[in-house]
Amino acid sequence: MTTLLDRRPAPIRVQAKTPRPTITALFVVAVGVAAYTGFRLPGEWAATLQSVSLTDGFHRRFLVGTLLAPFGHHYLVYAVASFLVLAALLTAVAIAFFRGRTESRRLVIVGWLLAPTGGYLFQEVGYFDQVLYLLLAGASWALHRNRPVLASVVMTLSVTVHEIALFTVLPVFGFALLRKFPFRRAGALLAPSTVACLVILALPPAAPGAVEKLRNTLSTADFRYRVDALSLFERTQAQSWQLYSVTRVLLYLVPIAIVVIGGLLLLQRPALAAAVAVAAPVLLAFGGWDDARWGFLLVSNFALVLWLRLGRRELDLPRAGVLAALLLVLTHVPMPYFDGYAPRGLTLVTPVEDAR
């Protein structure tokens, strides 16, 4: 397949680490718009799942709850922990922006923030997805510091946060490993986290009686726990499939995947590992009904992979136009929020047409 990059490779040059004032201002505006659009307090669903711990007999999604267990089942504890994770993740995004060596990399970050994904990041506060990508940032730092074993350990921890790590952060981590090491070495470093995730999936989600025991404990907590959140640990995957249409979720995700993978191929030479890392969240359609959430993770993986692939390569004008057009298309991806929330508009009043 012939792409723009195949026909005429873009020149590679090292840019100054300090971004131009204009794009710095654009980054600040993008963060502000994303925060205004999606900011909210952590929901009861997130607080309920943060109560799940290994010591209470749960075998999945237990790392965060196990770490927070000594502080008790209090909403304030979960809210503070949620905002600390969000702040740490935003810090990682800011570091990636300011230490990026090219304006192209910085534009990818700005575009991701201005797209619906920016607001979705803030409204998803408290969800384990943010912990997963924070751990990925930590593993990337370890790789950058030539500590691959530490990076592998960090990513192995990620599967104890949430099993969707298998289709989100682990493919991106594998792609990053392949950029740095030979295939066998990369496979050896990726194997522990992959095997750990498969073992977790093979185990029952919770020990007998663990769910009911936690329900009794949370019945006296200072927040209204979500019964349906704990029910996740009692259902089989076959029972979950009866509650939603996998086809409908795929029909939402596949067009987004076509856009981002097509854009990736136009901007860079085809690479199987890159395409797999971007498209992997599509498989989450078989894991649950959170289609907008999976779409958020799909676009986020695309931004991460593109950021990694650009490296020190500055896009020339035609490719910069392709990137701008791609980001513009992504702004039209609908990403409904959880719990009846909706993105805040930038106007102070409701348009007359909508008020009728």
User: For 351, which DSSP code?
Assistant: -
Please give the helix or strand (H or E) that residue 320 lies within, else none: helix 317-330
Per residue in 178-215, pLDDT (tens digit) is 999 999 999 999 999 999 999 999 999 999 999 999 99
Residue 78 predicted with pLDDT over 70: yes
With residues binned 3-state (H G I as helix, E B as strand, rest as coil), the percentages for the chain, rounded to 5, are 70, 0, 30
Q: What pTM was computed for the model?
A: 0.91
Residue 337 predicted with pLDDT over 90: yes
Task: Please give the biggest Cα pair distance in the chain.
Answer: 65
177 vs 222: CA distance, rounded Å: 44
Q: What percent of the chain has pLDDT over 70?
A: 93
- Report residue 1's pLDDT band, with 50, 70 and 90 as the boundaries: very low
Per residue in 105-129, pLDDT (tens digit) is 999 999 999 999 999 999 999 999 9
Around Cβ 350, how many Cβ atoms within 10 Å?
10
CB 42 within 8 A of CB 82: yes
Per residue in 287-324, pLDDT (tens digit) is 999 999 999 999 999 999 999 998 888 888 888 888 88
What is the structure's pLDDT at 17? Answer: 60
Query: What's the whole-number average pLDDT of the chain?
Result: 90
Residue with tokens 């089942």: 73
Mean local confidence (pLDDT), 210-224? 93
Residue 15 predicted with pLDDT over 50: no
23 vs 285: CA distance, rounded Å: 36
Residue 9 predicted with pLDDT over 80: no
Of residues 28, 69, 27, 30, the one with CA closest to residue 50? 69
Sign of the CA dihedral 153, 157, 163, 164? negative
What is the structure's pLDDT at 21? Answer: 83
Sign of the CA dihedral 164, 196, 193, 64? positive
